[in-house]
Chain A
């Protein structure tokens, strides 16, 4: 279905739209229950401390307190037995939701209290007596790797010695030594990026009610109700069949809501108290104790011939994991070189623990870190060789059939097209003024497929209700309705799309990995086609002809073949009205482990102007060019490209955590943790390329994560073009820009 689409490609109004603009949509913090009480978390005042004892007796005796939870109430996962759940390890999850042997970062949960008001719960937390043995802490990568560094975990060894290096990963292709020997120019540079928070505006929140029979109902804001069910079950010991996880509307996640923080605590508090328990993180808690993405350091080396052909590339990365292992090293080293056809390549990464909050996924986890150094070095090689930076990328661009350094051989995809479109785009040719510069960069993300379920039911009046299993973070309901309307040939407004809970829809994996529309479209397509099959059978029965002699067109069954024109068509409404007399309910469910997502590529162009006196970098113009496979709902595709680019701008220019010497975050709020605001930005132009994914019924590729990947280097390369100073350390915040300009001036 590529031509003459009526609904695919339409900018329809999202099914959940009216609720979202009138304030009636129920986010997790908006839910209440009769008899509800409030939970509050006691958090570690130390960055690193052994927990010697926790005495909750005074808190329990405090008037209004109904229950207290400590690590002793959470199911323990012994350190020597890995227990995987998706990409997480429950050994780390159980220690992240509640400190066990040690407090590993300032803000690490130690205990939680439920009481009749938020104020009483918070007061009671202060009555909990915790005996700590305060330990030396380590925050930055270099400090954590120093020979005398405090070691966070006795059980981690690297090269036979206790270490803060929790793991390594490597990709290798060809012979890099030989490749560098062939090069006419070799450039090697060191880079750092800072940890940045996903920055969702909605703090984590949940409401949990455990009934007298032990069955738990959880309303929470997450990127996956099935993840909430599984993790809460594993951490509380409640069987998953006794947990109903209901997805509240989610106020942004960007990866940060792919794990639980509060749900197991609230579940145990509710079980102990017999009352529904609501818990909401403060913004400060979100910033201190929910996961940002990793900070990193890296060394990237690339060699090329005079004509620009890359002969070898190597990237070595150190990523911060926070207090427990698990930084996104796979994304960093897998995506770093992925846009290029490189004969000899190696990427290697270290997972480094330190006394910061445990990292969580953030939009294309690890990939922006991997791409940053590579895209900066390519910019320098282009300059050195006198080649246009887009031409350098075109010369080395991965295409169908290229074997990537990280392993796969690529199918049909549109990276080259993004570069070619950038070259001829107005933006790339527009003149620049004084103190202005232009940068380009590209990026890749794997995109995920995986498990999804959908139920498509025809109502008795001939309309459609679709239930899927993925929280809608950015308009996916609208895309799903567009697809169903197209296949059924009916008006979009006759379709409702709901997000089911764990008791009402089959297993569906996370809203993450840019997988939701890809996978949802597959299960909805299959369910819709099954429904059409049933409708055709019904019409055949009514007409008393063979079902194969019925076609479904434009929302109605039509007799076909020898019977064509013999009977008046039967519409969806007419068939629905007669369903029970001649067959029964009309509906179909599909549960699939989808495959074939295929990676995504994009290229960004950024113009900046630098204020030499104040050091402020202002983005003047920005264009995102990306192959999206098929833009099922172009507005929400554009929205993903724009939102991702702006997160990259924030990462490049301003966002960072400031730790004091006690190892506490000094800027745990939106005033000092400076995310982009409306007045910082220009419009973000998009250029959508549609090279349909051959593995998908509508040609869909993942869209949402790629647009964060190129942005860091695109902004940085633009700043170089404006200033002649190469910033290899992010963010390029005003004090750093002023300092660099002063140094450059002093050197002259």
Chain B
């Protein structure tokens, strides 16, 4: 079968690639585009470590076909910082030690960013439920939840 030609926008950059009809977005990001920040922890949409946004909607890139990106807008962890300037969530995760091994961190950050765009003033419970699809086995989530709440407060203060 011929490969499909896809035109999309990833982190603001016009991007084209060829993919098989059954390639996942995660496969193409990691293996074709060499964007390995999105991780594969399960391949079944249960761990959230491959989280990206598709037209501003939070999705697991392992559950999305690469062909679906045609004409769409994709954001990944590689686009979260602006050059050397980290996103406030990234900075707060570092200051709060909200990561240990770091494998869930890219997905966790993308999911948290998506939450704060939708709800700049979430309660602890809202953060916990929003991030319930992002597994972390190291931290017990405590410092992650605090980092998200603290970032939200900082960003509200700055706005």
- Comparing B1-9, B41-49, B66-74, B151-159, the segment that makes contact with chain A is B41-49
* Chain A 633-644: CB-based contact to B (< 8 A → 1; otherwise 0): 101101100111
Contact call B36/A30, Cβ cutoff below 8 A: yes
Give bound CA distance, A684 to B139, whole Å.
10
Query: Complex: how many Å from CA A587 to CA B95?
Result: 31
Inter-chain contacts of B47 with A (CB < 8 A): 201, 283, 670
List residues 149-208 of chain A with CB under 8 A from any CB of chain B: 198-203
Contact A639:B97 (CB < 8 A) given known A27-B39, A669-B42: yes
Q: Are B101 and A283 in contact (CB under 8 A)?
A: no
CB atoms of B144 and A678 under 8 A apart: yes
Residues B141 and A282 in contact, CB atoms below 8 Å apart: no
Q: Is the CB of A202 within 8 A of B97?
A: no
A14 at the interface (CB under 8 A from B): yes
Q: Indicate if the CB atoms of B77 and A22 lie closer than 8 Å.
A: yes
Contact of A726 with B by CB under 8 A: no
Kindly list chain B residues whose C-beta atoms are within 8 Å of the C-beta of A675.
135, 137
Instruction: Please name all residues of chain A whose beta carbon is closer than 8 Å to the beta carbon of B77 when the two chains form the complex.
Output: 22-23
Q: Across the interface, do A25 and B140 meet the contact criterion of CB distance under 8 Å?
A: no
Residues of B within 8 A of A199 (CB): 137
* Complex-state Cα separation, A282 to B104, whole angstroms: 16
* Interface residue? B143 (CB, 8 A): yes
What separation, in Å, do the CA atoms of A424 and B44 have in the docked complex?
46
- Within the assembled complex, what's the spacing in Å between the Cα atoms of A728 and B97? 36
In Å, the complex CA distance between A684 and B144 comes to 12
State which size class the interface on A falls in. 35 or more
How far, in whole Å, are A32 and B30 apart by their CA atoms in the complex?
Answer: 10
| B90 part of interface (Cβ distance < 8 Å) | yes
Which residues of chain B in 105-145 are interfacial with respect to chain A, using CB atoms and an 8 Å cutoff?
Answer: 105-106, 109, 125, 127-129, 131-145
Q: Which residues between 295 and 323 of chain A lie within 8 Å of chain B, taking CB atoms?
A: none
Interface positions of A from 632 to 676, Cβ below 8 Å from B: 633, 635-636, 638-639, 642-647, 669-671, 675-676
Closest CB in chain A relative to B90 CB, distance in Å = 4
- Counting CB contacts under 8 A, is A494 at the interface? no
B61 at interface, CB cutoff 8 A: no
Contacts of B138 in A (CB 8 A): 252, 473-474, 639, 643
Q: How far is the CA of A473 from the CA of B106 in the complex (A)?
A: 16
The verdict on B33 contacting chain A, using a C-beta distance below 8 Å, is: no
B46 touches A684 (CB 8 A): no
- A201/B36 contact (C-beta < 8 A), A647-B137, A681-B141 known: no
Find out whether the CB atom of B142 lies under 8 angstroms from the CB atom of A683.
Answer: yes
- Return chain A residues, CB-CB under 8 Å to B100: 252, 473-475, 636, 639, 643
Residue A562 interfacial (CB < 8 Å): no
CB within 8 Å for A22 and B140 given contacts A27-B103, A251-B39, A678-B132: no
Q: How distant is B146 from chain A, measured CB to nearest CB, in Å? A: 8
* B101 contacts A473, C-beta separation under 8 Å: yes
User: Using Cβ atoms and an 8 Å threshold, which residues of chain A touch B41?
Assistant: 201-203, 251, 283, 670
Give the residues in chain B near A20, CB-CB below 8 Å.
99, 102, 105
Which residue on A lies nearest to B99, using beta carbons?
A20
Question: Which residues of chain B have C-beta atoms less than 8 A from A14's C-beta?
Answer: 94, 97
Which residue of B is nearest A221, CB measured? Answer: B103
A622 to chain B: closest residue by CB: B140
List, in ascending order, chain B residues with CB within 8 A of A646's CB. 139-141
CA A18 – CA B105 in complex, angstroms?
A: 11
Q: Flag if A23 contacts B106 (CB, 8 Å).
A: yes
Asked if B140 contacts A642 (CB within 8 A), the reply is: yes
Interface centre among B86, B100, B129, B143 (most CB of A within 10 A): B100
Is A18 in contact with B101, judged by CB distance below 8 angstroms? Answer: no
Contact indicator per residue, chain B 79-98, by CB within 8 Å of chain A (1) or not (0): 01100001000100111110
Selected contact of A684 from candidates B39, B109, B140, CB within 8 Å: B140
Say yes or no: A475 contacts B97, CB within 8 Å: yes
Interface size on B, residues (CB 8 A): 56
Cβ of B16: which chain A residues have Cβ within 8 Å of it?
none
Determine the distance from Cα of A702 to Cα of B66 in the docked complex, in whole angstroms.
46
Given that A639-B100, A678-B128, A683-B145 are known contacts, is A22 also in contact with B94, CB under 8 Å in the complex?
A: no
Question: A503-540: which residues lie under 8 A (CB-CB) from chain B?
Answer: none
B76 at the interface (CB under 8 A from A): yes
Closest partner residue, chain B, to A26 (CB atom): B36
- Is A21 in the interface zone, CB < 8 Å from B? yes
Q: Which residue of A lies closest to B40 (CB)?
A: A29
Which residues does chain B contribute within 8 Å of A72, judged by CB atoms? none
Q: For residue A689, give the distance in angstroms from its CB to the closest CB of chain B.
A: 19
**In the assembled complex, A13 has its CB within 8 A of some CB on chain B:** yes
Cβ–Cβ contact A203 & B40, under 8 A: yes
Q: Considering the complex, which residues of chain A in the window 11-64 have a beta carbon less than 8 Å from any beta carbon of chain B?
A: 11, 13-14, 16-18, 20-27, 29-30, 32
Cβ contact within 8 Å between B131 and A254: no
CB distance from B159 to the nearest CB of A (A): 22
Nearest chain A residue, comparing its CB with the CB of B84: A18
The residue of chain A having its C-beta at the shortest distance from the C-beta of B102 within the complex is A20
Chain A residues with Cβ under 8 A from B42's Cβ? 283, 669-670
Q: Closest residue to B131 on the A side, CB-wise?
A: A678
A11 & B86 in contact (Cβ 8 Å cutoff): no
Question: When each residue 680-696 of chain A gets 1 if its CB lies under 8 Å from chain B and 0 otherwise, what string results?
Answer: 11011000000000000
By a CB distance below 8 angstroms, the chain B residues around A67 are none
Q: What distance in Å separates the Cβ of B48 from its nearest Cβ neighbour in chain A?
A: 9
Residue numbers in A under 8 Å from B127 (CB-CB): 678
A4 CB within 8 Å of chain B? no
Closest to A645 in B: B140
Chain A residue nearest to B37 (CB atoms) is: A23
Q: Does B78 count as interface, using CB distance less than 8 angstroms?
A: yes
Residues of chain A lying within 8 A (CB to CB) of residue B38:
23
**Pair B39/A22 contact, Cβ less than 8 Å:** no
- How many Å lie between the Cα of A675 and that of B34 in the bound state? 30
Chain A nearest CB from B89 CB (Å) reads 8
Q: Is the CB of B139 within 8 A of A643?
A: yes
State in angstroms the CA–CA spacing of A17 and B86 once bound together. 11
A250 at interface (Cβ–Cβ under 8 A)? yes
A84 within 8 A of B: no
Knowing A23-B77, A679-B132, the reply to whether A643 touches B103 (Cβ < 8 A) is: no
| A451 on interface, CB distance cutoff 8 Å | no
Interface flag for A249 (CB, 8 Å): yes
B102 surroundings in chain A (CB, below 8 A): 16, 20-21, 25, 249, 251
Contact with B along A244-264 (1 / 0, CB 8 A): 000001111110000000000
Inter-chain CA distance A644–B139, complex, in Å, is 8
- Say how far B64's CB is from chain A's closest CB, in angstroms: 18
CB of B65, distance to nearest CB on chain A (Å): 15
A202 & B94 in contact (Cβ 8 Å cutoff): no
Give the top 3 A-B pairs by smallest Cβ distance, nearest first.
A23-B37, A251-B103, A646-B140
Besides A201-B135, A678-B129, 9 other CB < 8 A contacts?
A: A13-B94, A21-B94, A27-B39, A203-B40, A250-B101, A473-B100, A636-B97, A676-B141, A681-B141
A–B pairs, 27, beta carbons within 8 Å: A16-B102, A17-B94, A20-B99, A20-B102, A21-B90, A22-B37, A22-B80, A22-B81, A27-B36, A29-B36, A200-B137, A201-B39, A202-B39, A251-B101, A252-B103, A253-B101, A283-B41, A283-B43, A473-B100, A635-B97, A639-B139, A645-B140, A669-B46, A678-B131, A678-B132, A678-B136, A680-B132
